[in-house]
Structure 1
């Protein structure tokens, strides 16, 4: 039997929103993305509770083992929920982007937003970090995939933080055009 030949290897470096927290793995948006892109080898390097520091620590090993063509960075939510300073967020994301690009991978960065109860200054500074990095590194910034889902209680788990099974196809369809465009550029 021959090994499959893939058009591209995609690494998703995320947290519980990408790890499929609270549901079977085959129900999460990453598995649905695999169904949409059968010629891609999609590696879900997402871990529930992951921070940018944790993702940075794990990244060298993931890069060596997967040799991705494209990396989707979907980290920062746990940094924000823990009130980590935006400059630390930016430092970790900068290192993740640099490592990814040094390995020859294209990078997509997903915008992450924190709840407004952290105050307007923190919230704005946190969100702006993603826009600054996208501009500084000339990479695509995917708007926060939870922005329409988080406000609809029927699409959220009881904890009010994680999307439920019904939201997963929406996330897949949100991410798909960004990913397919990055693969052809």
Structure 2
């Protein structure tokens, strides 16, 4: 596993917290799981720290599994929810990158994402859908179908969407691990900073 080099998070300020302590579940793949990083520097730990600095006493649980396609994530959704022990206040759905990297059919990914969003809706669980973008070498038709999948599903299910999980990080070697795919610790901090307003709005909603 890869590790971050040369990054030490700043000391966490004492948070001013509200009375309610929401539980957020980041349900995704290696990007939200913190692949290649120590647990304390992964997405869920850093998002939790950022929320608490902002006065939101949230607990962010890691539901990411490296390598998962949308179909694989769908297959583990129900037992994953059971394993939380309580209904989460928000689920961040971050999936699709592995389908894209493998060139899997977009209708297959879309149908499985649709099923995940339907299951969460039926349980009354709010969702923030985090989008992904297809690599241009897959061709314009695939890119258009894949990139368009997320806004279409967000609209169909009436859920908020964060357009691109790797916004500000993708393509910047200084913010990526040696594989050129996964964010390093600096990259995670940028992801968290950019997604934080959307997470807070989704919690309020």
TM-score tier by shorter-chain length is over 0.9
Q: Retained in 2: the 8 A contact 1:16–1:48?
A: yes
- Measured in 2, the distance between the counterparts of 1:158 and 1:35 equals 26
Q: Does 1:130 align with 2:112?
A: no
TM-score, normalised relative to structure 2? 0.84
Q: Does 1:101 align with 2:117?
A: no
- Measured in 1, the distance between the counterparts of 2:184 and 2:121 equals 33
CA deviations on 1:99-133 (whole Å, 9 max, x unpaired) are 11111100110111121000010011001011100
- Measured in 1, the distance between the counterparts of 2:106 and 2:165 equals 20
- Measured in 1, the distance between the counterparts of 2:60 and 2:150 equals 24
Query: Which shifted more, 53-62 or 35-44?
Result: 35-44
Aligned to 2:14: none
- Measured in 2, the distance between the counterparts of 1:161 and 1:87 equals 24
Select which of 66, 74, 82 maps to 1:56. Answer: 74
By how many angstroms is 1:6 displaced? 5.1
Query: Which shifted more, 15-24 or 35-44?
Result: 35-44
SS at structure 2 position matched to 1:45? strand
SS at structure 2 position matched to 1:108? strand
Query: Which shifted more, 146-155 or 75-84?
Result: 146-155
- Structure 2: state its 5+ residue gaps: 1-18
Q: Retained in 1: the 8 A contact 2:127–2:159?
A: yes
Q: Over aligned residue pairs, what C-alpha RMSD do you find?
A: 1.3
Aligned to 2:190: 170
How many aligned residue pairs are there? 181
- Measured in 2, the distance between the counterparts of 1:40 and 1:106 equals 15
SS at structure 2 position matched to 1:128? helix
- Measured in 2, the distance between the counterparts of 1:81 and 1:89 equals 12
SS at structure 2 position matched to 1:61? helix
Aligned to 2:31: 17
Listed as ranges, the matches of 1:38-117 within 5 Å are 38=52, 39-66=57-84, 67-117=87-137
- Measured in 2, the distance between the counterparts of 1:6 and 1:80 equals 38
SS at structure 2 position matched to 1:73? strand
By how many angstroms is 1:68 displaced? 1.1
Aligned to 1:27: 41
- Measured in 2, the distance between the counterparts of 1:80 and 1:152 equals 19
Q: Retained in 1: the 8 A contact 2:168–2:190?
A: no
- Structure 1: state its 5+ residue gaps: none
Q: Retained in 2: the 8 A contact 1:68–1:105?
A: yes
By how many angstroms is 1:151 displaced? 2.1
